[in-house]
Structure 1
Amino acid sequence: MRELTIGKNDAGQRLDRFVAKALPLLPPALAQKYIRLKRVKVNGKGSKKDVRLLAGDVVQLYINDEFFDQPTEANAFLTLFKPQLDILYEDENLMLLNKRPGLVVHADETEKVNTLINHVQAYLYQKKEWNPRGENSFTPALCNRIDRNTGGIVIAAKNAQALRVINDKIRNREIRKLYLCITVGRMQPSQGKLECFLLKDEAKKQVFVYHRPVSGGRSAVTLYRTLETRGELSLVEAELLTGRTHQIRASFADAGHPLLGDGKYGDGAVNRRYHETRQALYSYRLAFDFPTDAGPLNYLRGKAFSVSDVAFKNKYFP
């Protein structure tokens, strides 16, 4: 914690604007968050961001010391952002990351700073593998997305060539993506295919399932096989043949077997009984099944990567 006393030259400023000037390395969105969380206090008390400071006020800042540094050419980007990544695999072209449930992949209306892509870019910048000042347009990017409350493998491309190849392979279904999930009840049959059309409602951030073509709807195909059943819960492996928003969650719910913990498509009574607030869904295996040329990424052909430690599997199907 550091304290800053307001002098006459700083008096009259809004709290948030004073913090922005005093800590130029602190991202604006993070500064606003810290004020809301009362990690920035005025005279020992939490204050609103628009409070006007008076001469003699003491501002307490419960903020990491590195944000008090002054920006230089070397640290003006994300040098002081401390990346936290679970890296399954990394080479000169890409990274495979095990995203934890609860972390958003890109900034949204709820989170601007603590995102997977920010962790990736800070990591590569600090390793001196990427310098935004030396690039005309390329920025390290994620090749696939996973919902906030779903965990699993995300591919990050380190260069434009790798990004193009992986995007092409995903679009042409040359990368297999397998998920583990827990369904309520037993799928009948125990192994099969779910086919439907999904229509996305942007306002509700939800998809609706149809069993006939509808305007704006997109086909969704999911393969599944039941691995184990205990009581009313089943451990199921699902493979996406298409990659639609909420595809697995909506498809299984439509089949009468929603995912445990799913607050949007699931069974609230069951979720409360098991005290689960996040869908039991994990992108646990990725296989590079390239039937066609992959150019600079041909060395990945035939390789597969898996996450062995999936919390809900360990809990219900140890």
Structure 2
Amino acid sequence: MRSFTIRENDAGQRMDKFITKAVPLLPKSLMYKYLRLKRIKLNGKRCEISTRLTAGDVVEMYIGDEFFDTAPEESFRFAGPMVPIVYEDEHLLLVNKPAGLVVHGDESQTPDTLIGRILRYLAEKGEYDPATEQSFTPSLCNRIDRNTSGLVICAKTAAALRVMNEKIKLRQIDKRYRCLVHGTPKPAEGRIELFMRKRSDENRIEVFHHPVPDGRTMITEYKVLDSNGRYSLLEVHLITGRTHQIRATMAEIGHPLVGEGKYSSMKNDLGFRFQALCAWSLTFRFEGDSAPLDYLNGRTFTVGEDPFARYLRDRK
């Protein structure tokens, strides 16, 4: 028999979600059977898969030891050094991801990912130990493309993760991007409405000026912050959040991002290895209950110095 005492990072989950994370080797079919046969109990009593756990509850599992014979995954120990930290408290980390670093593991199976670096950092600080966590791992709340730089949110606690996931879904976090484009868009401030369709086999999207079957609306707002005629610095606000939205939209209106190689063939004479795109700022605009993150409401965070402004200053 194994027992688990529910801690704060485990609380609030359904029983089946907790078991799946705490005992990943246990097949779901057996989990349902053992719950029905009372071989998995909550506080000494029968429970349902939908029962919500609270801190202090005790989950008892009368199941075979072979389902527990697994070591915690610690590939993050081989991740690279920590990326720049913009803000940190007991619940959250805001980091400035460099272009070229993937946020999660991909087909390359490299351990050097953004989340890997964060887990290594927290482990070395003594704030995360996979051997003692029963069902929670610090997790990214948003993601940006490998070749885009900028702000990414990481939840250090389960409570923070639940709140951030909800607020992102309700669009209560205002995100702004900065990018460097060829030419000068006219007008200097505008709203672009297009339609897109994914081409998963090519990892790109098709862009249309009219509705298409299986297509989705793509709405982008932009503002020219500075220009030298040849290049312009833009601030971009996404009304929708589609794959490659900024890259494809700006290329479609004739002002592709500098360094863009998927949606444009324009010469990259500034030496950019990746597209000149940065997730520049985050503003928390919470409505309703946001505990335990209510102290963040109204606050804005940026990556710091604009990463592209100097390319205009140097060429005026």
- Normalised TM-score (structure 2): 0.72
The runs of 4+ residues in structure 1 deviating greater than 4 Å are 73-82
Separation (CA, whole Å) in 2 of partners of 1:312 and 1:169: 30
Separation (CA, whole Å) in 1 of partners of 2:278 and 2:150: 5
Choose which of 278, 294, 297 in structure 1 pairs with 2:293.
297
| 1:102 corresponding residue in structure 2 | 100
Q: Given the alignment of the two structures, is residue 200 of structure 1 paired with residue 198 of structure 2, yes or no?
A: yes
User: C-alpha displacement at 1:197, in angstroms?
Assistant: 2.1
Q: After TM superposition, list the pairs within 5 Å mapping 1:4-83 onto structure 2.
A: 78-79=76-77, 81=79, 83=81
SS in 2 for 1:296: coil
| 1:22 corresponding residue in structure 2 | none
Q: Given the alignment of the two structures, is residue 124 of structure 1 paired with residue 122 of structure 2, yes or no?
A: yes
Separation (CA, whole Å) in 1 of partners of 2:73 and 2:153: 26
| 2:307 corresponding residue in structure 1 | 311
Q: Tell me: CA distance 1:180–1:317, structure 2 relative to 1, closer, same or farther (3 Å).
A: farther
Aligned AA for 2:289? D
CA contact (8 A) 1:258 1:267 kept: no
Separation (CA, whole Å) in 1 of partners of 2:86 and 2:220: 25
| 2:177 corresponding residue in structure 1 | 179
Structure having greater relative contact order (Cα 8 Å, sep ≥ 6)? 2
Separation (CA, whole Å) in 1 of partners of 2:173 and 2:164: 8
User: C-alpha displacement at 1:257, in angstroms?
Assistant: 1.1
Q: Given the alignment of the two structures, is residue 138 of structure 1 paired with residue 136 of structure 2, yes or no?
A: yes
**Structure 2: gaps (5+ residues):** 1-70
Separation (CA, whole Å) in 1 of partners of 2:109 and 2:74: 21
| 2:283 corresponding residue in structure 1 | 287
User: C-alpha displacement at 1:104, in angstroms?
Assistant: 0.8
CA contact (8 A) 1:181 1:235 kept: yes
User: C-alpha displacement at 1:172, in angstroms?
Assistant: 1.3
Deviations 1:260-317 (A, max 9, x none): 110111233x21x333331111111111111333121111000000122343322334
User: C-alpha displacement at 1:103, in angstroms?
Assistant: 0.8
SS in 2 for 1:295: coil
User: C-alpha displacement at 1:244, in angstroms?
Assistant: 1.4
Aligned AA for 1:281? L
User: C-alpha displacement at 1:82, in angstroms?
Assistant: 5.3
Q: CA RMSD in A?
A: 2.2
Percent of matched pairs sharing the same residue:
45
User: C-alpha displacement at 1:76, in angstroms?
Assistant: 6.4
**Structure 1: gaps (5+ residues):** 1-72
CA contact (8 A) 2:79 2:111 kept: no
